[in-house]
Structure 1
Amino acid sequence: MRMSEGVEWGLHCCVMLHWLEDQWPAPTARLAAQFELPPEYLKKRLQTLVRAGILESIPGAQGGYQLARPPDRITLMDVVAAMDGREDAFRCTEIRQRGAGVEANPAELKRPCGISTAMRRAELAWRRELAATTLADVIAETPAPARRRALAFYERLGR
């Protein structure tokens, strides 16, 4: 599966926002600088997360972003679906019914083919894993030195 870079950006920003919860809201410019990302593009990605109810946007000169709910209530699937949509990665177009398949017995084509079945099973496993993993799980697995480095860098950026 190939996901957009917005998924990675969104997840990293969500982790950072959790770490900054006592300093909310976090301005887009500082989040962008934290990861050396283009601010306008990041703003669009963060607004996508706002529309999905993952982040809250606080307007004004002292505004920015904060998590809309606790990290244990945000799954990786929530972020992936917000950024990349909920469409299936594999789309069966029934090419088996073309060419030589035109002559197939209709009874053979009533059930999905083995390829379609296997791809759907794999996608379901992928989606289940993402839905079972929360932002809190990811945060818990992040080494403490990485958190300290990120927060120190963020502080050096100033407001």
Structure 2
Amino acid sequence: MKLGEGVEAAIHCAAMLAGIDGNSTMSGAAMAEAFGLSPSYLLKHLNQLTTARILESVPGPAGGYRLARPAERITLLDIVLSVEGREPAFRCGEIRQRGPVRLDASAYVKPCGINTAMLKAERAYRAALAEAKLSDIVADFMNDADPRTVAASCAFVERHQRPQKNQSNQPNQQA
């Protein structure tokens, strides 16, 4: 299975946003810069995360993005599904019912064994992603990554976060 680069970008951005202070935000342009991505490419994925209510988009000159709920309540599955969609990675086209060896439809009453096995693997994969919380990914990074990487990442977040001063301009947070 191959996931698109957008999944990696979305997870990294969500992890970065888990490190901002309070109700601060970070611009999409800053996150694109941090990961060497095109801002327009990243904006598509940030919008998907916002639609899925993983992120909040705050308008205005000091606006940007922040997590819509605590990192403990965001799983890797939430992020993957927001970017890749809910359809299974494997989609059986019932090719066993085509070609010169195809039979009458009554010969194909039982589900395709290949489809059954692939969907079983998909369920296991999704269950593992559902157990992986964004907060755990961030904590593991803080504890296990090279200290230079941690320091550089924290310094980038500190430089680029945008504190929110006017509380009345904030969107409704949905838990």
State yes or no: 1:136 paired with 2:139: no
- Which moves more between the two structures, 30-39 or 45-54? 30-39
Query: AA paired with 2:56?
Result: E
Aligned pairs for 1:8-157 within 5 A: 8-22=8-22, 24-103=24-103, 106=106, 108-144=107-143, 145=147, 146-155=149-158
Cα drift, residue 100 of structure 1? 4.7
- Unpaired runs of 5+ residues, structure 1, are none
Q: Which has the higher helix share?
A: 1
Q: Measure, in 2, the Cα distance between the counterparts of 1:119 and 1:72.
A: 30
Query: AA paired with 2:29?
Result: A
Residue pair 1:19, 1:147 contacting (<8 A) in 2 also: no
- Structure-2-length-normalised TM-score: 0.81
Q: Measure, in 1, the Cα distance between the counterparts of 2:69 and 2:159.
A: 27
Q: Measure, in 2, the Cα distance between the counterparts of 1:30 and 1:105.
A: 56
Query: AA paired with 2:129?
Result: L
Cα drift, residue 143 of structure 1? 3.6
Cα drift, residue 101 of structure 1? 4.0
Q: What whole-Å deviation, never above 9, does each CA across 1:97-121 have from its counterpart, x for those lacking one?
A: 2235423682x42111221111111
